[in-house]
Amino acid sequence: MSVRITDIREVTKPIASPIRNAYIDFSKMTCSLVAVVTDVVRDGKPVVGYGFNSNGRYGQGGLIRERFRDRVLDAPPGTLLDDEGTNLDPDRVWNAMMANEKPGGHGERSVAVGTIDMAIWDATAKIANKPLFRLLAEREDRTANPRVFVYAAGGYYYPGKDTDLLRAEMRSYLDRGYSVVKMKIGGASLDEDQKRIEAVLHEIDGEAQLAVDANGRFDLETAIAYAKMLRNYPLFWYEEAGDPLDYQLQAALAEFYPGPMATGENLFSHQDARNLLRHGGMRPDRDWLQFDPALAYGLCEFQRTLAVLTTHGWSAARCIPHGGHQMALNIAAGLGLGGNESYPDLFQPYGGFPDGVRVEAGRVTLPDFPGIGFEGKENLYREMAALSA
Ligand SMILES: O=C([O-])CC(=O)C(=O)O
Ligand SMILES: [Mg+2]
């Protein structure tokens, strides 16, 4: 059986919405959708892997089309295959993409590579005719656990949104089976945010837990002022207080915040993750790591990040990736992460679960689709199929 990548296609799609966090609005947000076409034929059709990047970093069509696509297509096909020559080897494809790239300064090439990497893993699992989460578990000699914790991320700022609407939003997440909800902070004054938090805590009234996300907005003084307010509430976590690369701020914050902290969605390499663990004061017994493989060079790199965690005494179970995509759901189910983010009302059709999958007691159960499972989500698959037609 020959296995050859015959084409890589990219289209940049809008995922705009009127929401705002403490740092950006999403009025012009886009993402890249990628199709990796192979010459493997299943049911009379070529196997195609799909990928997209998650919200927050915009589409990367320029980098994908001008650099990374051609490196894969120009590589001698045999150099991209596993030892048996019967399937793609995602790590070898990754190495081909990263030829002639200097280390450091990861910028947004990590998003371009992460998007293609997702499609490569989707194709690889489809060629193996297995769900990606089962393929990953087998590769690591583990048992997959298709039941994955997910939390509902939302609670954004948008025009006219008062605490009643915020409460109604959070109530709707509880009604849909979530046991942890997340809201934005840092886009209003501390006093106003405190009122918003108290309103939500009143609404969820012990039925669920609340996490808060400052999106890297605070300087040290403000981060500590918020910590002193937030530590009076039983929060699930206090996320991304300061600049993602300011490890000293994160470490200083730990002195003032005994509850769980979370960060990492804007760290895009295993080297940056390592610096966070070395210097960020993060505590492996309670804190959470949110590295998002779709933004951070993909699963090939995420595996190196997991190795860094192990070296530093962390468990993969402390990872709950940012992004709300099925790729991270598969990694969670296959490699034992602590769960995954989900945006019940945002960034559609890219985020979410296969049709018919319901959240029950804060968990979803992944069905057994070959690959990542995109074919099980009709509105998403329609966009994907249009790209590979
Ligand atoms: O608002 C955003 O940029 C998304 C985000 O931080 C999150 O989901 O944690
Ligand atoms: Mg966040």
275 torsion bin: left (phi>0), alpha (psi -120 to 50), beta (else): alpha
State the distance from the centre of ligand 1 to the C-alpha of 215, rounded, in angstroms.
Answer: 7
Whether 298 has a pLDDT exceeding 70, the answer reads yes
Ligand lying nearest the CA atom of residue 56: 1
Whether 1 has a pLDDT exceeding 80, the answer reads no
The pLDDT tens digits for 100-145 are: 999 998 889 999 999 999 999 999 999 999 999 999 999 999 999 9
To the nearest 5 percent, what fractions of the chain are helix, strand and coil? Answer: 40, 20, 40
Q: Transcribe 63-125 into DSSP letters.
A: HIIIIIHHHHHHS-GGGGB-TTSSSB-HHHHHHHHTTT--SS--TTHHHHHHHHHHHHHHHHH
Give the C-alpha separation, 72 to 243, whole Å: 34
The residue to mutate among 17, 213, 343, having the most atoms of ligand 1 within 8 angstroms of its beta carbon, is: 213
State the distance from the centre of ligand 1 to the C-alpha of 92, rounded, in angstroms.
Answer: 31
Whether 338 has a pLDDT exceeding 80, the answer reads yes
Give the C-alpha separation, 119 to 87, whole Å: 14
For CA atoms 121, 178, 339, 302, the dihedral sign is positive
pLDDT of residue 317: 98
Domains and CATH numbers, the chain: 5-129 (3.30.390.10), 139-388 (3.20.20.120)
Q: Is 184 a catalytic residue?
A: yes
Q: Is 230 helix (H, G, I), strand (E, B) or coil?
A: helix
Q: Is the CB of 216 under 6 A from ligand 1?
A: no
Nearest CA to ligand 1 atom 6: 215
The pLDDT tens digits for 230-281 are: 999 999 999 999 999 999 999 999 999 999 999 999 999 999 999 999 999 9
The pLDDT tens digits for 262-276 are: 999 999 999 999 999
pLDDT of residue 2: 83
Q: How many Å separate Cα 54 from the centre of its chain?
A: 6
Q: Is 41 helix (H, G, I), strand (E, B) or coil?
A: strand
pLDDT of residue 63: 97
Nearest CA to ligand 1 atom 9: 322
Residue 166 · residue 159 · CB < 8 Å: no
Q: Is 322 a catalytic residue?
A: yes
pLDDT of residue 268: 98
The residue to mutate among 31, 111, 215, 240, having the most atoms of ligand 1 within 8 angstroms of its beta carbon, is: 215
Relative to the CA of 343, which ligand 1 atom is closest? Answer: 8
The pLDDT tens digits for 198-207 are: 999 999 999 9
Give the C-alpha separation, 8 to 33, whole Å: 10
First-to-last alpha carbon distance for the chain, in angstroms, is 23
Give the C-alpha separation, 5 to 388, whole Å: 13
**Average pLDDT along the chain:** 97
Q: How many CA atoms lie less than 13 Å away from 77 in the CB half-sphere?
A: 12
* Mean pLDDT for the stretch of residues 174-178: 98
Ligand lying nearest the CA atom of residue 152: 1
Q: Which residue has the tokens 């990736």?
A: 321
Instruction: Kindly name the residue from 130, 184, 270, 377 that is annotated as catalytic.
Output: 184
Q: Is the CB of 266 under 6 A from ligand 1?
A: no
CA-derived radius of gyration, the chain? 20
State the distance from the centre of ligand 1 to the C-alpha of 220, rounded, in angstroms.
Answer: 20
Q: Is the CB of 21 under 6 A from ligand 1?
A: yes
* Mean pLDDT for the stretch of residues 223-229: 98
Give the C-alpha separation, 387 to 34, whole Å: 8
| 72 residue type, one letter | V
The pLDDT tens digits for 45-74 are: 999 999 999 999 999 999 999 999 999 999
Whether 15 has a pLDDT exceeding 70, the answer reads yes
Task: Write the ipTM.
Answer: 0.99
State the distance from the centre of ligand 1 to the C-alpha of 233, rounded, in angstroms.
Answer: 21
Q: Is 228 helix (H, G, I), strand (E, B) or coil?
A: helix
Q: Is the CB of 56 under 6 A from ligand 1?
A: yes
State the distance from the centre of ligand 1 to the C-alpha of 307, rounded, in angstroms.
Answer: 25
The residue to mutate among 15, 17, 19, 21, having the most atoms of ligand 1 within 8 angstroms of its beta carbon, is: 21
Instruction: Specify the pTM.
Output: 0.98
